[in-house]
Each structure stands twice: as C-alpha cells, then as structure tokens.
Amino acid sequence: MSKSNRSPWPDNHQSAVSLTFDDGSASHLEIAIPILAEYELQGTFYINPRGDDWDQRYLPWRDAALAGHEIGNHTIQHICARNFGWDIDKCLETLSLKEIEADVLEAERRLNALIPEQPTRTFCYPCYQSYVGEGINRQSYVPIIARHFPAARGLGETANHPLLTELHYLTSSIVAGWMSGSDLCSLVDKGTDDGRWLILTLHGLQTEPNREGLLTPLFHGNPLPADSFRELCKYLAERRAEIWTAPVVTVAERIIAWREKGTS
Ligand SMILES: [Zn+2]
C-alpha cells in the first residue's frame, strides 16, 4: 500500500495500533490505565456490565471513558461455545439470534446510561465467536452486530488492511501472558508492516501471582507482566510519529469516512 492518499491514517502516520482489553479485569484499572496515562496512550476496554449493582460497580469505567479510553460492548452474559464446559445449557449452540441480540442491546443500554458522553462504541465477540446454533442450523450473528455498531473485534492472524478488512469482524492478535516486552514490540513491527492496523487483545495484567480479576472472574490464562506492557507502551510512544495508536472506535470511524470519500 502506498503512503499517500491510499492511506486513511492521519498526520502522515504509516500504520495504526489499537490496544484492547477484555472482560473488565481490576488489573486494567489498577495497572493498564495508569501506564497508558504515563505514555499518553488510549485503549479500548470491552466490559460486561452485569449484576444488580452494575450502575455502581462499573463507575470506574466511566472515569476511564472520560479520560479518553473507549469502553466497548462485550455483552452482559459473555456466552461462548459449549465446548468450554462453562454452561452446557446456555451456550452459543443453544442460543437464538434474538437472544444474543437482546443481551447485546441490554449491555448497550447500560453502557449508554453509564457513559452518556460516549454514544458510539465498538463490539467485541466473547471468545472471538460470532455464531449461534450448530451444524446445519449454525448462523452468524455478525449481521446483528453490523446493524448496531460501526465495527467489531474478532480474532485473526493477519493485521487489518484498511481497505480490505471486514469492519464487523476485525482481526486481532492475542497477547499471551508469557510474552516479554521485546516480543510485543516485534508483534507491533510485524503487524504494522505495509500500513496495516494491528489490534492487540489483552486480558489480565499481573499485579501479584494468581490474582483473580475482581470484576469479572473469567479465566484467561496467565496475566501479562506489567513490565512487558510498559515496554510495549514505551515503544508505541517512541514511534508515535509513525504509528497511530488509538481506540478501535476512533480508527474504525476514520476508515469508514475514508472509504466513503473514495480511496483512489
Ligand atoms: Zn471475554
């Protein structure tokens, strides 16, 4: 891809990165957000505003939104494939399109009530899975998400080409707990090659061994050491002139406007 009018990136940036954080772990508030602030970076936090006290419990995420981070929709119930064994009665295989849509829209209603200042946000597929039903009755729920959101994050090996990527199933790379800072910097180098948009997916960050998320007790393997995350943020800050780091909704809206304008 050439770097002239064939690119949607602002201010002569050559590529884009979005840092995304799933499931509303307390470590996002305690570790990730302070480090992001130190390097003047903003991320996207996909949360599940659940429980009777959601309007109080998730108030810290409102503060995050007011600091410039995107608070994205990750459904309320976080329903995934039956194969996880979490709930064999309520899983994507037994769910209808209407039921998944109701869950997504209730999460949206709560997020709008919590953060009225941020009316537009993106969606993130729980467990990267975008279907309901199974076998010959399996159906994609991507069209439902496409009706309600400008973009949605999934999973995939190749970073997003701004012209070619499917905005309602954006690819992202998983940041594993064993990765060092230099592993993460290499991931950025590789993913932003050729003007692409790399989305990184993080879960918990390590505050102390075996710490559980206080807000959402889902298990996603070992948390990433805070030092690795700090090194990633430092690298992104150093390369700020070339790599545009911004929340998913900000990058997606820029791509949408660029595509509408015509890219040739
Ligand atoms: Zn999740």
Task: State in Å: Cα 126 to ligand 1 middle.
Answer: 5
Domain assignment present for residue 194? The answer is yes
pTM: 0.93
Task: State in Å: Cα 200 to ligand 1 middle.
Answer: 14
Task: State in Å: Cα 11 to ligand 1 middle.
Answer: 33
Domain assignment present for residue 109? The answer is yes
What's the confidence (pLDDT) of residue 214? 38
Domain assignment present for residue 10? The answer is no
**Token duo for residue 111:** 């997020």
Task: State in Å: Cα 261 to ligand 1 middle.
Answer: 34
Task: State in Å: Cα 48 to ligand 1 middle.
Answer: 8
What's the confidence (pLDDT) of residue 255? 97
Domain assignment present for residue 1? The answer is no
Task: State in Å: Cα 127 to ligand 1 middle.
Answer: 6
What's the confidence (pLDDT) of residue 6? 77
Task: State in Å: Cα 258 to ligand 1 middle.
Answer: 30
Rounded to an integer, what distance in angstroms lies between the CA atom of residue 243 and that of residue 236?
7
Strand partners for 170: 153
Task: State in Å: Cα 135 to ligand 1 middle.
Answer: 24
Domain assignment present for residue 202? The answer is yes
Half-sphere exposure of 47 (CA within 13 A, CB side): 34
Per-residue pLDDT of the chain (264 residues; tens, 9 = 90+): 444 467 999 999 999 999 999 999 999 999 999 999 999 999 999 999 999 999 999 999 999 999 999 999 999 999 999 999 999 999 999 999 999 999 999 999 999 999 999 989 999 999 999 999 999 999 999 999 999 999 999 999 999 999 999 999 999 999 988 889 999 999 999 999 899 999 999 999 986 544 444 344 344 567 899 999 999 999 999 999 999 999 999 999 999 999 998 755
Task: State in Å: Cα 47 to ligand 1 middle.
Answer: 8
**Token duo for residue 148:** 């309600």
How many independent structural domains does the chain possess? Answer: 1
Task: State in Å: Cα 131 to ligand 1 middle.
Answer: 15
Query: Are the beta carbons of 58 and 25 closer than 8 angstroms?
Result: no
Domain assignment present for residue 4? The answer is no
Task: State in Å: Cα 218 to ligand 1 middle.
Answer: 8
Q: Which residues surround ligand 1, an ion (CB under 5 A)?
A: 22-23, 126
Query: Are the beta carbons of 153 and 123 closer than 8 angstroms?
Result: yes
Task: State in Å: Cα 123 to ligand 1 middle.
Answer: 11
Task: State in Å: Cα 237 to ligand 1 middle.
Answer: 27
Task: State in Å: Cα 117 to ligand 1 middle.
Answer: 24
Domain assignment present for residue 225? The answer is yes
Please give the backbone phi and psi of residue 160, each rounded to the nearest 5 degrees, phi first.
-75, 125
Strand partners for 20: 44, 201
Task: State in Å: Cα 15 to ligand 1 middle.
Answer: 26
**Range of the structural domain that residue 221 is part of:** 15-261
Domain assignment present for residue 157? The answer is yes
CATH number where 194 lies = 3.20.20.370
Task: State in Å: Cα 74 to ligand 1 middle.
Answer: 7
